[in-house]
Amino acid sequence: MKRIALVQMRSSEDKRENLKKSIDFIAEAASKGADLICFPEFQMAFSPSSQSAAQLADVAETIRGNFVSELASAAMKNKIGIIAAIYESRGKSKRVYDTAVMISSDGKVSSVYRKLHLYNALGFKESAKLVPGKRIVMPAKTNAGSVGMMICYDLRFPELSRILTVNGALVLVVPSAWVAGEMKEEHWQTMIKARAIENGSYVVAPDQQGNIYCGRSMAVDPFGVVLVDMGQREGVEVVDIDKSRVRNVRKSLPLLKNRRTDIYKLSY
């Protein structure tokens, strides 16, 4: 049995304030026995619509920057793995990556995933400030098991979660900043459950709360059982991850085994 902590937070525009808050959450999660702590998208800073791409680029840092370095130090100090979310600088470019960084309990960056699907929908255009990643990052081993990473809008594209699952993910972690709006919470809850059920995987989805976001950070088990729904509360919740639960669900509901990969083909 392993333990994963979800953080639901309201990031401000001040990344120093968000970093301090993050380090406090790390210590709290460690005190609750968590092996891995997962932060929401835009952990580094909230970017209001009035902020230009150039201004956001000034906030962004490289993977080797202070934000990740401080989190890595906290990982070592608290002996806990971390999945963090940053705006990743692209040198002189005015647009940045939306990046999830996996940090091991010994303070080393073990995986880096850059969001593939940008939220150019429902009146938003993330591509005005962000650049999409160029590759799927295979699941990585953590203290809490094999974890595949997606980010927010990626949740709407089932191909990604399936690829991660068939390549060994037992847990899908989805750092998110899910914008509130008509039917948005319903979409959020439905797709988290769907991604868990169709893959026989745990789904851990930490979300931003406040500003323009809906909260409702969730963790769902491989059979679709909601383990936690944080509502609008900012803070840390912990869930237990049982590998045997994944194994037993996939045995009794063998969706992965029953796929007709012998006849599937792209038709577009």
| Total number of domains in the chain | 1
| β 130-131/96-103 pair status | parallel
Q: Which of 186, 250, 245 is nearest to 218 (CA)?
A: 186
State the pLDDT at residue 268: 60
State the pLDDT at residue 265: 80
Q: Which of 91, 97, 3 is nearest to 44 (CA)?
A: 97
pLDDT per residue rounded down to tens, the chain (268 residues): 999 999 999 999 999 999 999 999 999 999 999 999 999 999 999 999 999 999 999 999 999 999 999 999 999 999 999 999 999 999 999 999 999 999 999 999 999 999 999 999 999 999 999 999 999 999 999 999 999 999 999 999 999 999 999 999 999 999 999 999 999 999 999 999 999 999 999 999 999 999 999 999 999 999 999 999 999 999 999 999 999 999 999 999 999 999 999 998 866 6
The total of other beta-carbon atoms located within 10 Å of residue 32's CB is 12
State the pLDDT at residue 266: 67
Count Cα atoms within 13 angstroms, Cβ side, for 50: 1
* CATH label of the domain that carries residue 60: 3.60.110.10
| β 171-173/202-205 pair status | parallel
State the pLDDT at residue 192: 98
Q: Is residue 257 part of a domain?
A: no
Range of the domain at 152: 2-252
Q: Is residue 51 part of a domain?
A: yes
Q: Which helix (H) or strand (E) element contains residue 30?
A: helix 15-31
Q: Is residue 268 part of a domain?
A: no
CA distances from 45 to 30, 82, 119, 133, 144 (A): 23, 17, 17, 20, 27
